Amino acid sequence: MKNDIQSVLFSEEELEAIVSRLGAQITEDYRGKNLLLVSILKGSVAIMADLMRRIDLPCRIDFMAVSSYGSGINSSGNVKIIKDLDISLEGYDLLIVEDILDSGRTLSSLMEILSTRKPKSIEICALFDKPERREADVYAKYIGAKVPDAFIVGYGLDYDEKYRNLPYVGVLKPEVYEK
């Protein structure tokens, strides 16, 4: 797997520092609120596991699985809910936890769907942001780091369901996905 990585963007230690910073910021902002963290599977599973342990507040968690990529490298724009939430959003301060905010099309559609379920508030926490690729008018309140317009994998991010288990984030060599 390491042979498929062009360069490492974020080491394990750097990721730990990013998640700790986000956890502290969320703890401060959501003090006294009814926080519900919603992890968008499968990509955000790594950050969700680490982030929720760095939030020093009572909170609930839930999971959604949505798809708009298939096995390609670009979002199709067609959002399909594969696994919906188990609890009602009514009265919760909802924080969507996502691995990467890229075109924004998936999150924009998801925000529309979830807003109809009457949460008290909705915000996004994205580990990574690629603002130059944005196609939809959606922004994350909490951003771990901005990343270049490259195909990155690791720490939950994948290509064709592979590389999620890398403990760091790296740029995938183009020859891997241009086959």
Q: What token pair was written down for 70?
A: 């298939």
Helix (H) or strand (E) holding 142: strand 142-146
How many C-beta atoms lie closer than 10 Å to residue 95's C-beta?
26
Q: What token pair was written down for 25?
A: 């910021």
Q: Please tell me which residue in 50, 93, 99, 102 is annotated as part of the active site.
A: 102
Catalytic status, residue 102? yes
Query: CA angle at residue 66 from 60 to 67, to 5 degrees?
Result: 155
Q: What residues act catalytically? A: 102
